[in-house]
A = this chain, B = another copy of it.
Amino acid sequence: MQNNEALKALLEDIQSGKVSVDQGVESLRDLPFQDIGHTVIDNHRMLRNGFPEVIYGEGKTKEQLVDIFGYMRERNNVLATRVDAEKAAFVLERFPDAEYNAMGRTLTFLKNEIEFKPGEIGIITAGTSDMDVAEEAKVTCEMLGSHASIISDIGVAGIHRLLGRLDNIRKYTVLIVIAGMEGALSSVVGGLVEQPIIAVPTSVGYGANFSGLSALLGMLTSCASGVTVVNIDNGFGAACAACKINNLVQR
């Protein structure tokens, strides 16, 4: 990869004297990792190559959000997740060209146009209560350069709704299946299609749902082989994984 190229170039510069040994020591410390990303914004790894910078909004004050958002939008597209309405209003006042998705709680800014990859990611939800997670996933997919569509409210308690849309569902490159309660939707979809499936358990439910535990365990023990799982309510993470997979299509 280009790492070795860069390393070779640096060493040749040292050999030729263009770069002093002391400068070389300095440069070499970080070089092998330079292409991985140069900074991390609050637990979301910087995503390279035209990808947006990502801000995790939970636990940040609105002032902090304005600072970080303002700094980033100078440099690149920006995606902030888990931004509640009040914080969003505060940021939008300052940066009216940002866009807020109230259901998905995302705040985005486009400095450069997104170059979309071929393929499309299908986002399926069991119920309308899972829509916030679905919207977070959809916005993330698009900011990361993959088209995405939501097919909502086709939970297993009315299996015909799912079956009636199978032809549509089979068109997508990758599927994100979002369900709370018992999370059975990922098993049923997993038995009907051939695509990679990323299951997102949600905290929708009460009692023995234990804040998403029932859906999480259900998806992990799914009888449909080949379903993989992310954290409860983690639409962002599912979208990241789906985009990494969708990126394989065009290579």
Contacts and interface: CB of A to CB of B under 8 A. Distances in A.
A248 B196 contact: yes
Interface string A215-232: 111111111111111111
A27 to B, nearest CB: 10
Nearest to A29: B164
A43 B155 contact: yes
Interface stretch (A33-41, A70-78, A93-101): A33-41
A191 interface: yes
A183 B231 contact: no
Interface in A41-85: 42-46, 54, 58-59
A28 interface: yes
A89 interface: no
B225 A220 contact: no
Contact of A244 (B187, B196, B201, B240): B196
Given A14-B14, A129-B43, A157-B223, A244 B194 contact: yes
Contact of A167 (B4, B191, B223): B4
Q: Which of A8, A36, A203 has the most CB of B within 10 A?
A: A36
Copies of the chain in the assembly: 8
26 contacts: A4-B167, A14-B15, A29-B164, A29-B167, A36-B159, A39-B158, A42-B129, A43-B129, A43-B157, A43-B204, A44-B225, A46-B158, A54-B225, A59-B129, A127-B223, A157-B187, A159-B159, A163-B163, A181-B221, A182-B219, A184-B188, A195-B244, A205-B221, A207-B216, A209-B217, A225-B236
Interface of A: 1, 3-4, 7-8, 11-12, 14-15, 17, 21-22, 24-25, 28-30, 32-34, 36-37, 39-40, 42-46, 54, 58-59, 126-129, 153, 155-161, 163-164, 166-167, 170, 173, 181-184, 187-188, 190-192, 194-198, 201, 203-234, 236-238, 240-241, 243-245, 247-249, 251
Given A11-B21, A181-B223, A207-B231, 18 more contacts: A11-B28, A28-B28, A33-B163, A42-B128, A46-B158, A156-B187, A156-B188, A157-B190, A182-B222, A197-B241, A208-B217, A208-B220, A208-B231, A214-B221, A225-B236, A226-B237, A226-B243, A249-B249
Which A-B residue pairs are the 10 nearest by beta carbons?
A: A33-B160, A207-B232, A184-B184, A226-B240, A228-B228, A214-B217, A157-B191, A182-B218, A208-B220, A225-B240
